[in-house]
């Protein structure tokens, strides 16, 4: 069934169609939520909030963008909201490294222990970035959205997206080097 047909069924109240519409986006939505919030508990809350918000606001989706782009915006907004509300709390949750994209580029495969340390360091460093940088980097690196899609998603220009990603990567490198 096409995305347009699924959307029409969703707007008629078909929850099964909504589940089918969301299914291809779930892993990317989880990655966005986890990266922005920095821990599993908040990511789960944010993703749940995003699913509810997407269902309740399907009427606001006008079809100018892909559904996935619109949904990723809903997810990132929910994650940013959770992160802002709980910013004072230090995340101590264990993140399963098999759920995360391996950010290392070394030619030899690191041990599981090294990957856990690396994943934890990246998670903590991402959490320290300003929200707009973190969101742009997460959308680019973990969902493979184009600069134009990120610009549309964030409601900014492509050059601003490039700047945010560049500045965010620079800050991320500095944080990881420390």
pLDDT in tens, the chain (178 residues): 888 899 999 999 999 999 999 999 999 999 999 888 888 999 999 999 999 999 999 988 888 888 988 999 899 989 988 877 775 444 334 444 444 444 444 444 455 455 445 677 787 888 888 888 888 888 888 776 788 888 887 889 999 999 999 999 999 889 888 7
Q: How far apart (Å, rounded) are the C-alpha atoms in residues 140 and 46? A: 19
At residue 30, the pLDDT reads 93
Joined tokens for residue 118: 């690396």
pLDDT of residue 93: 41
pLDDT given at position 152: 84
DSSP 129: S
* pTM > 0.75: no
Q: 3-state DSSP call for residue 175?
A: helix
CB 134 within 8 A of CB 126: yes
Could you give the CA distance from residue 92 to residue 89 in angstroms, rounded to a whole number? 9
Name every residue whose Cβ is closer than 8 Å to that of residue 12 and which is 6 or more positions away in sequence.
none
Q: Which domains does the chain have, with CATH numbers?
A: 3-177 (1.10.1740.10)
Tell me what pLDDT residue 117 has: 52
Q: At what angle do helices 131-143 and 67-85 cross, to 10 degrees?
A: 140
């Amino acid at each position: 069934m096409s995305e347009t047909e699924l959307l029409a069924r969703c707007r008629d109240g078909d929850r099964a169609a909504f589940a089918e519409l969301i299914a291809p986006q779930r892993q990317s939505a989880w990655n966005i939520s986890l990266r922005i919030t920095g821990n599993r508990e908040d990511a789960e809350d944010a993703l749940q909030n995003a699913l509810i918000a997407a269902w309740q606001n399907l009427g606001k989706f006008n079809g100018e963008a892909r559904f996935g782009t619109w949904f990723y915006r809903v997810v990132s907004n929910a994650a940013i909201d959770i992160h802002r509300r709980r910013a004072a709390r230090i995340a101590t949750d264990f993140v399963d490294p098999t759920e995360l994209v391996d950010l290392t580029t070394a030619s030899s495969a690191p041990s599981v222990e090294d990957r856990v340390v690396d994943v934890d360091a990246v998670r903590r460093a991402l959490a320290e970035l300003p929200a707009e940088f973190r969101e742009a980097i997460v959308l680019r690196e973990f969902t493979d959205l184009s600069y134009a899609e990120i610009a549309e998603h964030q409601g900014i220009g492509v050059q601003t997206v490039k700047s945010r990603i560049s500045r965010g990567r620079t800050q991320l490198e500095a944080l990881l080097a420390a």
